[in-house]
């Protein structure tokens, strides 16, 4: 499973989270989470419901 899939699964299982919480729950480094979230946001797969939180678009 690549980092994109891990982060998507983590958000799917937990709902809106901060990048640090995503890193903690997924076991990934926070810097890697930040990079992947940026790419997922550019692709329109995640959004920020409030400042510093990210969730999947439905």
- Count CA within 13 A, CB hemisphere, residue 48: 10
pTM of the model: 0.91
DSSP state, residue 16: S
Question: Which pLDDT band, with edges at 50, 70 and 90, does 24 fall under?
Answer: very high
Average pLDDT of the residues in 34-55:
96
Average pLDDT over the chain, rounded to an integer: 96
With beta carbons less than 8 A apart as the criterion, state whether 46 and 55 touch: yes
All domains of the chain in start order, with CATH: 3-56 (1.10.10.10)
Contact 18, 25 (CB under 8 A): no
Question: Residue 33's CB: how many other CB atoms inside 10 A?
Answer: 25
Q: How high is the pLDDT of residue 58?
A: 78
């Amino acid at each position: 499973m690549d980092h994109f899939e891990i982060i998507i699964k983590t958000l799917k299982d937990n709902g809106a989270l901060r990048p640090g919480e995503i890193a903690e729950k997924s076991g990934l480094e926070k810097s890697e989470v930040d990079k992947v979230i940026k790419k997922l946001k550019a692709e329109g797969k995640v959004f920020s419901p409030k400042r510093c939180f990210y969730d999947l678009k439905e």
